[in-house]
Amino acid sequence: IIFLSGCYTAVAVAYIAGFLLEDRVVCNDKFAEDGARTVAQGTKKEGCTILFMMLYFFSMASSIWWVIL
């Protein structure tokens, strides 16, 4: 149960960091008037990638801990 609560704490920290950092860690910029594509590829958005990996890893880890329980 301790590891499960630790995983949920890490997920909460990632969501709070994304909320507090606002536009500094977005994966794509605001929509342009010319209809530009919104898909971002590559490693140009490190903050977005780190937040995604943190959310994905700890969400999967918490799901696995639920299965173990």
Number of compact structural domains in the chain: 1
Residue 33 inside a domain? The answer is no
Residue 36 maps to a domain: no
Q: Is residue 34 part of a domain?
A: no
The DSSP code sequence of the chain is -HHHHHHHHHHHHHHHHHHHHGGGG-SS-PPPTT-------SSS-HHHHHHHHHHHHHHHHHHHHHHH-
The domain of 6 spans: 2-26+42-68
pLDDT at residue 49 in the model: 85
User: Is this structure's pTM higher than 0.85?
Assistant: no
Residue 10 lies in a domain: yes
Assigned domain for 51 exists? yes
Note the pLDDT tens digit of each residue in 20-59: 988 778 777 666 666 666 665 666 778 888 898 999 999 9
Give the pLDDT confidence score for residue 23 in this predicted structure: 78
Tell me: pLDDT of 17 over 80: yes
Res. 11: pLDDT tops 90: yes
Query: Which pLDDT value is given to residue 33?
Result: 65
